[in-house]
Amino acid sequence: MRYGISARLGKIIATAAAVLLVAQAQAISTAALMQGIPSLAPMLEQVTPAVVSIRVSKAMPAERGSRLLERSYATGAGSGVIVDAAGGLIITNHHVVANASRITVRLHDERTLEAQLLGSDPGTDVALLQVEAKGLIEIAFADISTVAVGDYAVAIGNPFGIGQTVTSGIVSALGRAGINNANYEDFIQTDAAINRGNSGGALVDMEGNLIGINTAIISGDGGSNGIGFAVPADMVASVMEHLKRDGQVRRGLLGVTIADATPVIVAALEVDIDHGAVVTSVLPDSAAEKAGVKLSDVIVEIDGKAVRGSRQLRNIVGLMRQDQQVELVLYRNGIRESLQARIGGSKGEPSRGIP
C-alpha cells in the first residue's frame, strides 16, 4: 500500500514538474496549461528553423529583334524543408525551381546560401536541393501510416514572400488525386491555410514530424480557401532516394493496363475481395508477361504493399527502381496466387504512363 501511494505521488510530482517546464517554454501560465489551454510554441521552436525560404531567378527569352545585350530575368519565391542537416539536403517543389538559373535559400537565422539542384521530378512535383552550411536543423519524417483524417496539422512556409508564417488546421482527407491525372498523386488534403509561396513548405503533425510537402491549392483567386494539398512524406522519401542517386526518377514499368476492382467487376469475376487492380491488358515482352500475369487477374498486393485500386498500383510501381525484384499477390479464377516479377523500364530512360 505504501509503495502504491509513493509511486502515485512520484508520478504526480513528475507530472507537475513537467507541466511547469512546458508552461515556462510556452509563455502561458501554469494555471492555463493545467486547464488544458494548448500552445504550439514549443514544437514550432524546434521545427521552424528547418523550414527555409527559396528565391529563384529564371532567364527570360530575349524578344525578337531586341538589341539589348543584357539578358532579362524573372524571379520567384517558394519554401523548402531541410530533411538532412549533415548532407545539406532540402526538399521543395519541382514547380518552384523548374528552369531556374539561380537558386538561393534563406535560413531561419537570416543566412542566405546558394543552392545546387540535385534533381527534380515533375511527376510528383518534388525537387531536391543541396547547400553547404553548418548548424542546420532538419525535420524528421513521420510514419505516414499513422496519419488519419481529423489529425491536427500545421503548415509552415513563406506565403507571398512576406516571411516565415505558420497556419494550423486538420487533415481533411487522405489519398486525394485528380489535380493532374498525368502525375503521380496521393495527396494529403488540409484546411490549414496554404497560399502562394507556401509551395515546398512543411506540413507537420503535433510532434513536429513531417507528414507532407505543401504543393497545391484549389482557389478561384489564388488565396487560401481551406483546400490545400501536400505530397505525403512516404512518397517524398521515395522520390528523394531516386533524386540523390540518379538526379531524376527512372520510373519502373510492370507493363499492364489496369482498372479499379469495382463491386460489379469483382462480382463478374467471382472473386471474394473488396479492393485491388484488375488487369485489362498485358503488354508483350513486359515484366508482367514474363512474370505470368494474365488478363482479368486482380492484383491486391505488390512487394508487401496492399493495392486498393489502379491509381495506387500505378503510384507504387512508378516509384520502384528499374530491375527491382518484387512479389505480386493476385487473384485468378478465385484463387490467391503469388508471382515474382522484375520491374522493367524503357531502356533506362524515365518512363511515365502505364504502370
Show me where the domains of the chain are located.
2-38, 146-234, 256-342
Sign of CA dihedral 341, 342, 345, 347: negative
Q: List, in order, residues 6 or more apart from 212 with CB less than 8 Å away.
A: 187, 188, 202, 203, 230, 231, 232, 233, 236
Query: Among residues 295, 302, 298, which one has the least CA distance to residue 341?
Result: 302
Q: Any alpha helices (H) in the chain, and if so which ranges?
A: 2-26, 30-34, 41-47, 94-97, 233-246, 263-269, 287-291, 310-318
CATH pick for 146-234 out of 2.40.110.20, 3.40.50.300, 2.40.10.10, 3.30.930.10: 2.40.10.10
**Are residues 57 and 163 in contact, defined by beta-carbon separation less than 8 angstroms?**
no
Strand 73-84 and strand 89-92: pairing? antiparallel
Catalytic-residue membership of 238: no
Q: How far apart are CA 127 and CA 141, in angstroms?
A: 16
- What does each of the 355 residues of the chain score in pLDDT, given as a tens digit? 333 434 444 434 444 444 344 444 445 566 665 666 678 888 999 999 999 999 999 876 666 555 544 555 667 789 999 999 999 999 999 999 999 999 999 999 999 999 999 999 999 999 999 999 999 999 999 999 999 999 999 999 988 888 889 999 999 999 888 777 678 888 999 999 888 888 999 999 999 999 999 998 886 666 667 789 999 999 999 999 999 999 999 888 899 999 999 999 988 988 889 899 999 999 999 999 999 999 999 999 999 999 999 989 998 998 888 889 999 999 999 899 999 999 987 543 333 445 6
Q: Which of 121, 125, 186, 234 is catalytic?
A: 125
Catalytic residue status for 199? yes
* CATH, domain range 256-342: 2.30.42.10
Residue given cell 508477361 in the structure block:
289
Please state, in angstroms and rounded to a whole number, the distance separating the CA atoms of residues 342 and 191.
41
Q: Please give the sequence-ordered ranges of beta strands (E in DSSP) within 261-333, or none if there are none.
A: 277-282, 298-302, 305-306, 325-332
Q: Is 91 left (phi over 0), alpha (psi -120 to 50) or beta?
A: beta
Q: What radius of gyration do the chain's Cα atoms show? A: 24
Q: Check 53, 79, 199, 238 and give the catalytic one.
A: 199
Q: What residues contact 270, with CB distance under 8 A and at least 6 apart? A: 334
Catalytic residue among 39, 84, 95, 296: 95
Provide the whole-model pTM: 0.78
Cβ neighbours for 242, distance < 8 A, ≥ 6 positions apart: 119, 121, 248, 249, 250, 319, 321
Are residues 139 and 50 in contact, defined by beta-carbon separation less than 8 angstroms?
yes
Q: What is the rounded distance in angstroms from the CA atom of residue 91 to the CA atom of residue 43?
A: 20
- The number of C-alpha atoms within 13 Å of 73 and in the hemisphere containing its C-beta is 12
Residues 138/82, Cβ–Cβ less than 8 Å: yes
Give counts: helices (H), strands (E), the chain. Answer: 8, 19
What's residue 31's pLDDT?
Answer: 66
Let me know: does 21 contact 15? Beta carbons within 8 Å. no
